[in-house]
Each structure stands twice: as C-alpha cells, then as structure tokens.
Structure 1
Amino acid sequence: MGKPGSFLLAVSSYSSTRVPALIPSTALGVLLVTFAALLAYAGFRKSLHATPLVVSFSLSVSALWWGIGLIQIMVGQGVLTSAEDLRNAMMPGLAAFTMGMFIIGVVGVLQDGVPVALMAFAISYSSIHGMAMYSDSTLGSSAVACNYLIVTIVSLYLVAARALYFFSKQRIALPGAELPNPKAKWSGQAIAPKRNDVVVIGLIVNIVSASVFGCRAVGLTTSLFVGQVPWLGMSAFFQLGVCILSYRSFDNLTATFFGFSSVLRFAEGYSLLYRFWRSEEPIFPIPFLVVFAILFLVLALFMAEKSLADVAYLLLFAAYCVAVACYPNGVFHSSSQGVSVAIYVASALMALAKLYNMKANAKIPMGEGIVKNLLTHLGPFRLRQGKDPHILHTGYSKYADGEVLGHACSVLAAFAITTGVDPRDPRGTVVLPWLVVAGGVLKIVCGLVAFSRGKTLESSIFILHGFMWILWGPTRYGGLCGPARGLRVALGIICFMLLNGFLVFFTLFLSIAWFLYCLTFELIIISFLLDAIDALPVGYDIAATIIVGTVSFYCFLSGLINSTFERPQLPMGGPIVKLQGFGVGSTTCLHLPARRTTSTRKIAGILRNGGVCRIPSDDGYALVAACNQPVAVERVCTTAWLPQRSSLEMWVSNLSQLEPLRCLVEGQLWEVMQTTLAFSGKLLICKGVWLDSFAMGEAAEYMGAAQNIALRIPDCAITTHVIELVSDQLKEAFRALSILHA
C-alpha cells in the first residue's frame, strides 16, 4: 500500500501549480486515509513475523499518510483556508517524519535493509523539501514529487521480486527483496513473546506529538490550532494500538506506558479542538496532572528493571505533566512546549537505539540489567525468576495481564472530577479526555484482556466501569444533558448503581482489595446520581475521588510490585467469603478455580481415589471419572440420569496413549485416526482386549454402547492437564478418563 500512496503524492506534487488541481484535496485525503488504514493493518499483522525494520517502516508510512490525508480532507472541506493555515498544519508532521524516516534509513543501511533504507531516506528528504516549500513560497514541489517517485519505483521493484519468486516456485530471487522464508517465520513465532516490534512506531508517533508543540516553541509554527489535531489524533490511536500489541507481546510495562501516553495525546488534541469552538484556551485541572506525574514516576521506577534509558525517558513525561500543571493554560504555555522539545530529542534517540538493538549483535548500551543485577544482591528484594507471571499455568491466553493499567486508569478518572467545572461551559475545563479515554476506552481494553485470561469477574468490573465513564462522562462534563435535572435523568445512573452492587457482592468471593475497589466506586456513581437530581453537596466530589483514587492507587502499586518481585509482596487480601462446597467430611463437594495448578492437582487426586468431578472442557462442563474406577464410572451414569450409555465417552490427552490400538489397526487407517483425533474429532472404536491396557475392568460395561466406544482428545488445556496428572500420579499403563457431557 506504500506504492499507491507515494504515487498519489508524487502526482499531486507534480501538478500542484495546476488550476484546478488534478486530484482534489478531499479525494486525495480520502485515498490516503484508505491506503493508510490498509498499510497499518498489514504492519500490525506482520509484527512478530517480519523483521522489525519492515514493521517500523510500514507503520511509520501509514502514520504519515493518516496525518497528510486528514489535513487534505480539512483543506477540501474549507476548515483550512489560507496558506498560513496549511503551513502551520503540515510543518509539525513533516519535521517529525524527517527524523523518524531518517532513523529507519540509517538502521536499514547498517543492517543490510537497502530497499527499506532507500525508501525511508526518500520520504525523509521529501519531508525536508516540504518544510522548505512551506517556509518559502518561491520554491516548487518538484523535489517532493521526485522523492515520492523514488519510493514508488522501489515499491514496484519489491512487488515484481515477490511475484517472480512466487511464480518461479522459489527458484528466482532478486537481490535485496527480503523474500519470505517459511523456516524463519516459524522460528520467529517461537520467540514472539520475547520481542516487541511495535515499540519503535510508538516512539516515532511520540516524536510527532512532541513536534506539534515543539515547533511552536522553536518558531517553526505561529499558532496552535485545529489543523494540528490530525497529528495528535493519529498519535493517540497508534499508541493505543501499540498498547494492545504490547500486551500481546507480554510486555506489561511498555503497554502501560503507551496507554498513559495515548491519554495525553487525546487530551492535547481535545485542547486544540476546543479552540475551534471557542476562541479562549481551555483550563487544565491541577490535581489530575499531579497524580498523572506520580503515576509516570512510579512506572519509571519499575522500568529500571528493563533499562536506565527507559527510566530517563519516562521521567521526561512526568516533568511534562508537572509543566502543564504549573499554568492554567497548560499545553499552550512555553514551559510545557520546552519539555516537548526534550521529548522530541529523547524519542528520536530511543527509537534509534531500540530499532538497532532488535537485530544487532553489538548493541547500543542503554543501561540494561544494571538495576536488576543490583537488586539481586540486596536481601529485602528478590526479583521474579523463571516462569513469566503473565503466562497462565493452565489454559491459554495471548495477552499479558492488564490489571495494572486498569487500576491506573481508575486513579486518573477519579482525580479528573476533583476540580469543579463551570456549569455554563463544562467543556472549558479539560476533563472529558481523561474520563472517556482513561476511564472508559482503556478500562474496556483492560477488561477484554482480563476476559481473555479467564478472569471473568475482573473483566466484568472493568467493562462496566468503563461504559459508565463513557456514557456519563460526556453527559455531565460534555453538556449533553443541558440544564435538565431530575429523576428521569437519573434513571440510567441508578441502573449502573444496581449493577455495581451485584459486582460488590461477588467480589466478596474474590479478594479484599477488589471488594474495596468496587465498593468505593459506588461513591463515584452516587456523585453522578446527586448531580443528576441537582442535589450534589459542596466538597462531596473531593472526598469521593480521594477515597476511590487511594484504593485504586493501592491496587495499581500492588499489581506492579507483585508482578515484579517475589519478595516483598503488597497483599491484595484473600476472599472475605470462601466457598467451601456442600456437605461435610469426606462427602464435601469442593468449588475450585480451574486455572490454578493447585486446583487441578486436587481434582486429579479426587479422581485417583475414585471420586467424580465436574470440570471445564472445550464444549462446556463435563462430569468425569477415572476409567479404572468402576464405582466412579457407575456414579457418573446414575448422577446424570443417562438416557443411554452411548453418551459416555473416553477422552485421552494425546495420541501416544492410544498405542494399544495400533496393533489392531492397519497403517493408513491409523493415520486417519491420528488426523481425526488431532482436530478434536470423535471416533467410534469396537471394544476389545485393548481396553485391558487402560485397566478398566468392570468399568468397560458402562463405556459407550455394547459393541463400540467413542474416543476423543479434548481441545482444552485444563482437561488434558487433569488427564496427564491422573496418569502420572497413578504411574500405570492407563491414561484416560471417562467423560460425560453435561
């Protein structure tokens, strides 16, 4: 998709003096945005499978097309009317991508990525010529068009090389084409969790957002206005994507940082967009920014485990929040704009170092491992060793734990409403971005990540609270409800209060910290309720937000400490009410969390001793018994009131456990059986002496029909793990469970 976008810009630049324009601004913008979306999708799909250089280049080009495309749409719709407006809108993005593409080009030359380096240098030089063209109206756009034409030609060469490689059945490979290698792809998948390819694009879009305010500080632009919102909006959405993909790479700290930075970019974009509605500058709430600086500071301390360079980089963002808080007009003051210049330089250096170190043998020193080695020699501290705490012991999840970011967003959203707003113009105080993005969007993202990890209750809490902020944040602080107050306005928030009350009850069975978090959130809901009926006491918001923010900050700090250190630990507390099960003594029916290794061991022990259990499987819950326990198998039949015995199946955990069948089956049929079972298919096998190898004895009478029995391998890690534990603990020939679907 880089080829058509570059070709469009080349044609547009060559015909810039033509009246009317060969390609109208609106059409050019729509096409660029379309190609940018497709290129971003391709870049994110290639992460962890292609080289980091290709991923970074693809996503950077997509980000550039997004910004230019949206600005061209604004020109076509009459939002940007003068040449000065177009100059102020384009200059920050061109200054940023001049640096970003130059970094990619340098790394490409050093790491033999010649085609990518050539295209990156061409785009960087076109951005330089574009800056010169907008600064001096006497300069033409031919140089810009020429560089984009170079990108088009190189892209055509790469497309031709791929096509020739494919149609020649991998016999003809043109030089420098970086053709796909199936073996390399699989090896890349094997190390995927160890590498985070999208960090570089996150740093490059940080350069873009810092450039918007840094250009104002150094005099490259004359004003901050709505024409620069596309760059900030693009940066915010890209950093949100980097946050999600960092969880996919099991990089929890990096995901938290880019979640924080995306919140900042949305707020900066909102502040510039507000000036499109009103001429005055919006006011930034001081308590929120102070708390945000503290969160950046705490996260920087834990980033020391990765590298000292990351610590210094995050401290710049803490300083930026402090600089914005020092003056009511926030980002429009020169102090915060000066810090933006420092962030621009630091982001460029970090992008260069991280992109180069991903593939280089001799790496650029970033202070990696210094603090980690220091902590290993300190008695009170012990870092986590061995298995990653974000990887589940049983079950499977493609994402790291997102609870740290979820609790941090609760802190931000709570302190955002500490400062009062003018009821005549609630949008004049920058509150909406903190509520909608931090309290809403990011909490829903954390809830979905928690759901993928099997944390149903935690995900329900995050998602409910996220929707509450998204719906009622704009209603109260966006002026949607207007002056109307009363019970009719409050009905919706009453529903949220009831739903949160149900979650408070269920957190009694989870932990003390989660119970307090849900319980104190009722104070926030009550605040919205009192405001809806126009009965909010003075000072209530301050007290409520301090309580909720303190509890959420404790949960945030506990998540960071417990995921980083084995000692010390910050306790979350056990469940207030414990489910011990029904019955007494040996007849107690236990309730155990399925995703804990200790629980699966207890279940395996019960089955080994002739018990009956109900466990999760790939198609619901199933009633199970060890197949060498005839009494237990009979209990399965009688407990579920089976209409027919054929409903009872035998499940095994892997193909090697069916070796007793091999002597009874011909070669090709055995391969068919293996293929069918490997994809969780069901096989009906005639009963015979091979059942004796599983030590069934009298239990065989209850298995399947009179002449055959159903075999299957469940597609559920928990079920197969239980089967393996039962077989390993018994240390006998049989390795199977009889399973009844419930």
Structure 2
Amino acid sequence: MATWTWFRFSGNLLQLSAEAAYGFTAGAIALLVINAFLMLIAAYRNLVLLFLTSVMEVVLVCFLLSTLQRLPYEFEIATLALFSIICIYGALASLVNCIFSHRLLPMGPPLIKEKVRWESVPELPCPVANSRLTSSLMKIAGLLEEGGVCGVPTDTVYALAASCKNPRAIENIYNIKDRPAEKPICICISNVEQLVEAKPPFSPLLWEFMRNVYPGGISCIVSKGDWLFKLGVGPAYDRVGTKDSIMIRVPDHTVTGHLCDITGPLAITSANPSGEPDSTHHTMVINRLGHKLQGVLCDGDSNEVVASTVVNCLKIDEGTITIVREGCVPAVKVHQIFERVKSTMV
C-alpha cells in the first residue's frame, strides 16, 4: 500500500521513466503471486482474513494498472473503500474478542478446515474422541461403563480412568502402567455435593477444608467407610484406596466433571508408565499407552505439567495435615488455606 501510494502521488512529480515504471509493474506482479499464497493461508484461518487478503489482491491489481496508466478512478476509490472497511472491522473484532475472551464480533469460520491427525482412527492404536463433542464424551463414558480403561484429561495432567462399577478394570490399570500393587488408586468425583449426599462422618473442619480446596489440584486422603457405597464406589470398594483410607479428587475441569456425572465415581491415576514423567498431551497418552487402552479423550495440552498435590487429612481434627506429595499446588499454599480455615472455625 505504501509503495502504491508513493508511486500514485509522487511518480508524476519525479517524472519517472518508462523503464522505471515497468520496474514497479514487475514488483506488482511479484506481490500478486506472494499475496495469492497469503490468501491460501487465510483460507485456513477465518473469513475476515480471507476477505482482507482477497481485497488486497484487487488492490495489487490496481497498483499494476496504475503502473500501466490504465487504472479507472472509480475502480480505485471503490477498492480502497472496501479495503478500509474490512481492515477496520477485522482490527475491531480482533481487539474486542481478545479483551473479552469471547467471540462477540464474528470473524467467520475457516473456508478450508484442517484434518487433525489424531482423527485418523486406522493409524491410531486405540479409539480417540474429541473432548469438545458431546457424542465423544458419551463414547468414552460407554467404554468406561463396559469395563474399559481410558485416558482422560483433568485439571492437572492426563489420567487413566476406570469405572468404580468395574473392579477388574481398576486391576487392569495396574497392568497397563506397571504400577506397584502397594500403591493405592484414588477416586474422582465431579463436585463436593456428591460427598454431602453420601453423608460421610467428616468433622466440620474437614468439610470446610475440602470446600476450600475442591475443585482444584489438591487431593485429600480421608477415612474409608460405608458411605462410599452411597457415593457409588460399591463394587470397587476393595480396589481403591487402602484398607482404612481413600484419596478423593474433584478436578476443576468441565470435561472430567461431566464424565463423572455420566459414569459415577472413577478410579484414576496418572496416564504414564510407572516411574516415567506425567503425560501433558493426549498424543503422549496415545503413543505411550494407547495399545493397552480402550480409548483416549483428546483435549490438547494439559493445564499443568505435574499431578495434584496430595494431602493426608486423617489427623485433621488434631489440627494437623501432612503433604504426602507436592504437585501443582505448592505445600506453602495448602498450609495457608488450612490455617485460614482453622481460624474461621474457632
């Protein structure tokens, strides 16, 4: 645009020779070719960007005609007006949508949609599903209820999940990731209200602490009891936790919450071979354990790079909690929450 403006208004004043004008003609042709590739890229982004690059192609045609002294004035005005309108709308829409983190002003869908590699089922070792689709969520829920083990996203890293209605599936988790038998598996539920309905004999201090840390990247170890049957853990009672305790996770993750609402409590553990780093993307789960799984719910990058922080709450009524494993939530922050909760209970 700057080159055309300079040539349009200064070319005559500088009395450029015909050869010099033809140099600008060659440059305009080169820019037409380059912009054609930009149009192709824009087709994969959104309609506004595609329209902008398309009009830019027309603008370059105007530049080309201008170098040949064959540009109609009306065509020039119309093209520049259209280009200005699209530029203003595109800039405004991008700014507003960025500020409010929501598509208040539509940019339009891409004209050409990329095919995501993991959707090519024949090339993958197990079925995969897109977490953004309800049908995909129902597919994974069905696999879990049939006794399968699936990789699922959480608010921290990816996890292996099995329904608490299928004890054998929980046993399979140990085989899939070569997990030592003495390491217990925790349960995952969608919200604290599920616990309330199960009526566990928790103290007011424990209830208040859990309400302050759930949902989120903190897992609490509490006493086991018959209340787990009311929660829906019945068939897997002896397969989760230890003889006397159970670790409970309430992820701050919409997809995981919906999945638990459909299936009931899930037995979960990190989706990685025992002793190896956590899986922070669904492709890691597929590549490392996909051949042993019945499905993977794909949600892109995980929110964290480490698992949840595990807190032993068995002696909370004595005014003590213990950090069993420091994960995504720093131990200092956990103790600060606990001290604040204790002070409000006095």
TM-score bracket relative to the smaller structure: 0.5 to 0.7
Q: Secondary structure at the match of 1:719?
A: helix
Gaps of 5+ in 2: 94-100, 273-346
Q: Could you list the per-position Cα deviations for residues 691-741 of structure 1 after superposition, in whole angstroms to 9, with x for gaps in the alignment?
A: 011232342112112221111123444433322332xxxxxxxx3101122
Q: 1:63-212 maps to which residues of 2 (within 5 A)?
A: 209=1
Give the deviation of 1:315 after TM superposition.
7.4
> 1:631, 1:601 → 2: CA distance?
21
Normalised by the size of structure 2, how large is the TM-score?
A: 0.53
Residue 274 of structure 2 corresponds to residue 738 of structure 1: no
- Identify the match of residue 284 of structure 1 among 7, 23, 27: 27
Give the deviation of 1:346 after TM superposition.
4.9
What is the aligned-residue RMSD (CA, Å)?
5.2
- Conserved 8 A contact 1:653-1:723: yes
Residue 210 of structure 2 corresponds to residue 673 of structure 1: yes
> 2:29, 2:10 → 1: CA distance?
28
| Amino acid in structure 2 at the alignment position of 1:711 | I
Match of residue 290 from structure 2? none
Q: Could you list the per-position Cα deviations for residues 123-158 of structure 1 after superposition, in whole angstroms to 9, with x for gaps in the alignment?
A: xxxxxxxxxxxxxxxxxxxxxxxxxxxxxxxxxxxx
- Conserved 8 A contact 1:628-1:694: no
Q: Secondary structure at the match of 2:159?
A: strand
Give the deviation of 1:651 after TM superposition.
0.8
Compared CA separation, residues 291 and 314, structure 1 to 2 (3 A): closer
Residue 172 of structure 2 corresponds to residue 635 of structure 1: yes
> 2:211, 2:127 → 1: CA distance?
35
Residue 53 of structure 2 corresponds to residue 335 of structure 1: no
> 1:651, 1:686 → 2: CA distance?
16
Match of residue 611 from structure 1? 148
> 1:607, 1:725 → 2: CA distance?
10
> 1:634, 1:622 → 2: CA distance?
15
Q: Secondary structure at the match of 2:161?
A: strand
Compared CA separation, residues 703 and 349, structure 1 to 2 (3 A): closer
Compared CA separation, residues 338 and 320, structure 1 to 2 (3 A): farther
- Conserved 8 A contact 1:634-1:699: no
Match of residue 591 from structure 1? 127
| Amino acid in structure 2 at the alignment position of 1:591 | P
Compared CA separation, residues 314 and 702, structure 1 to 2 (3 A): closer
Match of residue 233 from structure 2? 696
Compared CA separation, residues 676 and 638, structure 1 to 2 (3 A): same
Higher helix share: 1
Higher strand share: 2
| Amino acid in structure 1 at the alignment position of 2:62 | A
Give the deviation of 1:659 after TM superposition.
1.7
- Conserved 8 A contact 2:62-2:76: no
Match of residue 578 from structure 1? 122
> 2:156, 2:88 → 1: CA distance?
48
Match of residue 379 from structure 1? none
User: Aligned residue pairs: how many?
Assistant: 252
Residue 319 of structure 2 corresponds to residue 319 of structure 1: no
Q: Could you list the per-position Cα deviations for residues 262-313 of structure 1 after superposition, in whole angstroms to 9, with x for gaps in the alignment?
A: xxxxxxxxxxxxx9xxxx65723648727957959x98xx96xx9xxx98x9
- Conserved 8 A contact 2:161-2:269: yes
| Amino acid in structure 1 at the alignment position of 2:27 | F
- Conserved 8 A contact 2:28-2:63: no
Match of residue 191 from structure 2? 654
> 1:404, 1:702 → 2: CA distance?
48
Percent identity between the two aligned chains: 22
- Conserved 8 A contact 1:637-1:645: no
Give the deviation of 1:213 after TM superposition.
4.2
Normalised by the size of structure 1, how large is the TM-score?
A: 0.28
> 1:622, 1:660 → 2: CA distance?
26
Give the deviation of 1:611 after TM superposition.
2.6
Compared CA separation, residues 725 and 356, structure 1 to 2 (3 A): closer
Bigger relative contact order (CA 8 A; separation at least 6): 2
Give the deviation of 1:676 after TM superposition.
0.8
